[in-house]
A and B are shown apart, each in its own frame.
Chain A
Amino acid sequence: MPLSLNYLVKRFIWIFLVVVGVVIFSYVAIIASPGDPAVKWAGNPRGPNASLAIELARRELGLDKPLHIQVLKFVSDVFTGNIGLSIAYKIPVFEVILRRLVATLELLFVTYLIAIPLGVFLGIESALHRGGKLDTLLQSLGTVLANTPTFWVGAWLFLSLILLGAYPYGRVDPKLATATGFHPITGFYLIDSLIEGNILVFANVLSKIVPPAIAIAIYPVGVLVRLTRALVSDTLLEDYIRASVAWGVRRSVIIWRYTLKAITPGLVQVIGLAFAYSLVDAMAVEYVVFGREGLGSLLVDSLNYSDFRIAIGLVIVVAVFYLLVNTLTDIIQALIDPKVRL
């Protein structure tokens, strides 16, 4: 077994400690900043009794206690999953965030279902034509794609689809959803519609999720084209590949079986990193451009309602997401790469 319990325990204690740090940081950033949160909580009161209202709000938020007590209480609140009601939605913060997180994750999964095969395929083609025109073209394309602002491309994609008569706005057509009695179960609309056998809704959801996914896929494709080329070029120089060629193994087997297997650990590492980065791209594209509900819409709402509880909740959830993706990447790597032991 390449994975030890010792490692897992250590890793999760480490994640726990980092999350505690994140919680303290975000709390202090909100509290220590100019602009009294108590005033906001009281709803920016004016008039003769304003100071009373602010004093009440201060007590309600626990701001009258010493800072270390506040921080301790807040940390324990976070780990019992209770940091209060969202100011904008009036329902518990984590509930709000988790529902949106699922929507964004669905988008990210579709993105990587497009990005990984495409990027790896183009990268391998590029490595096989190294030095040639196709290689130069693909590598330049990779560099350009990795530096393209995602939300910008998303906007053009949206515009061209509108001009073509499609309507990629939102997650699902609400009229169609009510007409066919579609009820989300898991929150992953693609899975939900399949479970219910609702093919119409499935097609609708798919047609709305693919355009933003293509926009977000731009960055990982650009990275993967270049990375795969480097990895494949290295692997093709190995002795066992030379031996396979000498043995007369078919070219397609060498490339698609031996080489692909050898580069997987390197790919996994970078895909894990890119996946975490794509979360930000998704947040910029999904709501502002494509009007999908998700972490991006939460970000904008939190801004419009000055909802600092959502903001803190987002910091925590996203940090946990990053840490978990990193851990998962390491674990997958240990499982598939015999050289890595954790």
Chain B
Amino acid sequence: MDAVLSNFMKLLKSSGLKLYQDLTKSTEKYIRRTRFKVGLTITLIVFVLALIGPWVVPYPDEGAGYVPPEASLREKKPPSLTFFFGTDTRGRDLFSRVIMGVRSAVIQIITVIMLSLAIGLVAGILAAYFKGVVEVVLNYLIELFISIPAVIIALVLRLALGPGLLTVITSLVVTWWSWYARVTYVYARSVMEMDYVTLARLSGLNPLKIMSRHVMRNVLTPVLVQAVTDMGSVLLEASTINFLGLGLPLNSPEWGVIMYEGLSVLEIAPWVSAFPGIFLLITALGFSLVGDTLREEMDPRLRRRWRLWF
């Protein structure tokens, strides 16, 4: 696992990021390593489960939302050896539903982050490169979309488009792109001050090339690290949208939806909302552990050794 971390840091270094010597005490280093290992393990397990989920769960049909006729006889059964997590409000195997929820979680996270990153990077770099009107207009748009929370946009889209994955993803992308555009813009503006960019412009290099070769390459690493940190927040936000009934329809294998279904039977069958919640918490935690460690490695100010006076 250490090799993974050091390889990752090499990758970051080779992409133009200047890293400082590690000055921290060994215990802090140890803690950071542990956090990274834990985070990476969680993330890897999540991705593997997302890939193989439907083939390892005992009842893939029930996991996807199908209610078999005999299910009504085994509603709200507590966890046992046949049903690891018990059964849900309509008698389906909760374990299958929760494990298949990993896939919806990963799909939501990846689509939202990828789309937002793509739009945000382009917008942020354009705003930093073309000063003047383009900058003002893009900043206006960023401010506009950053100030509406995704849940509210989801409500509008839910009324307009109806329930579904499209509603969740669109509403999240509509707000998250502006965040990446702002982050990119801040980094890109400082890159634009660099002499090599001026030199490239003076030598008449194609603006597209300058943007992709000089600006994009220097901006990409910090923005990507930010994106890894945000994956947990995206998941939490998506689950909130689904929990409120604004996103995926009922019976979908999604943690927010399952938690909502479990809410009404909290007293009789607490496991229905407990297990998806634990999965949600651990997944979000995994992404944020990985992202935080990377960010601290990048920014030595955050991991300065605190040698103090009392």
Indicate whether A and B interact: yes
| B160 to chain A: closest residue by CB | A33
Which of B52-60, B99-107, B242-250 forms contacts with chain A? B242-250
Interface size on B, residues (CB 8 A): 55
Residues of chain A within 8 A of B260, CB atoms compared:
288
Can you list, as one digit per residue, whether each of A32-52 has a CB less than 8 Å from chain B (1) or not (0)? Answer: 011100000000000000000
One of A251, A308, A318 near B152 (C-beta < 8 A): A318
One of A152, A162, A280 near B149 (C-beta < 8 A): A280
Residues of chain B within 8 A of A300, CB atoms compared:
244-245
Query: A214 CA to B266 CA in the complex, in Å?
Result: 19
B243-A323 in contact (CB<8A): no
A17-B152 in contact (CB<8A): no
Which of B9-17, B109-117, B214-222, B277-285 forms contacts with chain A? B277-285
User: Is A311's CB within 8 Å of the partner chain B?
Assistant: yes
One of B149, B158, B243 near A288 (C-beta < 8 A): B243
Please report whether the interface of chain A is mostly helix, strand, loop or mixed according to DSSP: helix
B244-A302 in contact (CB<8A): no
Rounded to whole Å, the gap between the CB of A237 and the closest CB of chain B is 7
Residues 130-179 (chain B) with a chain A CB within 8 angstroms: 140-141, 143-144, 146-153, 155-162
Residues of chain B within 8 A of A334, CB atoms compared:
none
Residues 289-329 (chain A) with a chain B CB within 8 angstroms: 289, 296, 299-300, 302-303, 306, 308, 311-312, 314-315, 318-319, 322-323, 326
Query: A234 CA to B263 CA in the complex, in Å?
Result: 44
A242-B309 in contact (CB<8A): yes
**A303 touching B158 in the complex, CB below 8 Å, given contacts A22-B144, A152-B273, A159-B267:** yes
Residues of chain B within 8 A of A319, CB atoms compared:
147-148
Highest count of chain A CB atoms <10 Å: which of B146, B148, B310: B148
Query: A202 CA to B151 CA in the complex, in Å?
Result: 32
Query: A213 CA to B30 CA in the complex, in Å?
Result: 36
User: Is B201's CB within 8 Å of the partner chain A?
Assistant: no
User: Is A266's CB within 8 Å of the partner chain B?
Assistant: no
A33-B147 in contact (CB<8A): no
Interface size on A, residues (CB 8 A): 64
Which of B62-70, B202-210, B232-240 forms contacts with chain A? B232-240
User: Is A236's CB within 8 Å of the partner chain B?
Assistant: yes
Given A144-B285, A152-B280, A302-B159: 18 more A-B contacts, CB < 8 Å = A14-B143, A18-B147, A22-B147, A22-B148, A29-B160, A34-B160, A149-B240, A159-B267, A163-B267, A236-B309, A237-B304, A237-B307, A245-B309, A254-B310, A283-B151, A300-B244, A314-B152, A323-B147
A interface residues with partner B (beta carbon < 8 Å):
14, 17-18, 21-22, 25-26, 29-30, 33-35, 127, 130-131, 136, 143-144, 146-152, 155, 158-159, 162-163, 230, 233-234, 236-237, 241-242, 245, 251, 254, 277, 279-281, 283-284, 288-289, 296, 299-300, 302-303, 306, 308, 311-312, 314-315, 318-319, 322-323, 326
B interface residues with partner A (beta carbon < 8 Å):
25, 27-28, 31, 140-141, 143-144, 146-153, 155-162, 232, 236-237, 239-240, 243-246, 259-260, 263, 266-267, 270, 273, 277, 280-281, 284-285, 288-289, 292, 302, 304, 306-310
